[in-house]
């Protein structure tokens, strides 16, 4: 799949992209002095169900682990996956529920 992910940094926003074909994206912004807030993870409809989002997230988590950063997120469903499915997906990727719809993953 080429370079997975490519990291682009602009104005404190870090964007991780899969590749030009799938154009899946994760946006991260600073959250507190050392943490990151994931504001978006998106895989285009034509690329969903192929594990692209999971591979992209794993690369982001690896980078966060290497830099010893906690990632926070708020679950907001805007696609075919509902709240419970998204919560389960993030839990499979070592995120813990802090309170309803708020999750975090500490460095592993």
Fold of 6-105: Aminopeptidase (3.40.630)
pTM, two decimals, is 0.82
pLDDT digits (tens, 9 = 90+) for 38-75: 999 988 888 888 888 898 899 899 989 999 999 999 99
Structural domain boundaries in the chain:
6-105
For 22, left (φ over 0), alpha (ψ -120 to 50), or beta? alpha
H/E element, 15: strand 13-17
Q: Which has more confidence, 18 or 108?
A: 108
């Amino acid at each position: 799949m080429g370079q997975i992910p490519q990291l682009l940094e602009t104005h404190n926003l870090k964007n991780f992209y899969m590749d030009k074909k799938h154009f899946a994206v994760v946006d991260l912004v600073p959250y507190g002095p050392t943490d990151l807030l994931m504001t978006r993870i998106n895989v285009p409809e034509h690329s969903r169900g192929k594990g692209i989002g999971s591979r992209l997230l794993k690369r982001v988590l690896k980078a966060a682990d290497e830099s010893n950063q906690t990632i926070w997120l708020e679950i907001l469903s805007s696609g075919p996956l509902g709240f419970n499915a998204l919560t389960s997906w993030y839990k499979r990727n070592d995120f813990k529920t802090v309170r309803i719809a708020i999750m975090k993953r500490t460095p592993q």
